[in-house]
Amino acid sequence: IQLTQSPSSLSASVGDRVTITCRASQDISHYLAWCQQKPGKAPKLLIYAASILHGGVPSRFSGSGSGTDFTLTISSLQPEDFATYYCQQLNNYPYTFGQGTKLEIK
């Protein structure tokens, strides 16, 4: 299953609302996760089952979608949110990732 994220990179300012999309090549129901990775660090789980916030993740993060189309939204960007975001399908192995979206400060 291929996952296509858009955009590949994004420049935004603190306080902005941003949306990242992830499209699957086939129906994966709600078996999609989003993770955040900062330079030199391991990825961290943000959202799973398309819309469930992982423990400790701020409520400004939200996810939606099912089937083949999914979105990650950050309602009001904070300085610590500038990172790379990946979607990952958990419908079946191999658990593929999107190519990533690098979120940079404008």
Partner 1 sequence: EVQLVESGGGLVQPGGSLRLSCVASGFSLISYSMNWVRQAPGKGLEWVSYISSSGRTIYYADSVKGRFTISRDIAKNSLYLQMNSLRDEDTAVYYCAKEFYGSGTSPWGSWGQGTLVTVSS
Residues that bind partner 1 (CB under 8 A): 31, 33, 35, 37, 41-45, 48-49, 54, 86, 88, 90-91, 93-100
Q: How far is the CB of 65 from partner 1 (least distance, A)?
A: 15
* Nearer to partner 1 among residue 18 and residue 47 (C-beta): 47
* Nearer to partner 1 among residue 29 and residue 71 (C-beta): 29
Q: Which helix (H) or strand (E) holds 93?
A: none
* Nearer to partner 1 among residue 43 and residue 67 (C-beta): 43
Report the distance separating Cα 103 and Cα 49, nearest Å: 23
User: For 16-32, b where at least 16 C-beta lie within 10 A, e where not — what string?
Assistant: eebebbbbbeeebebbb
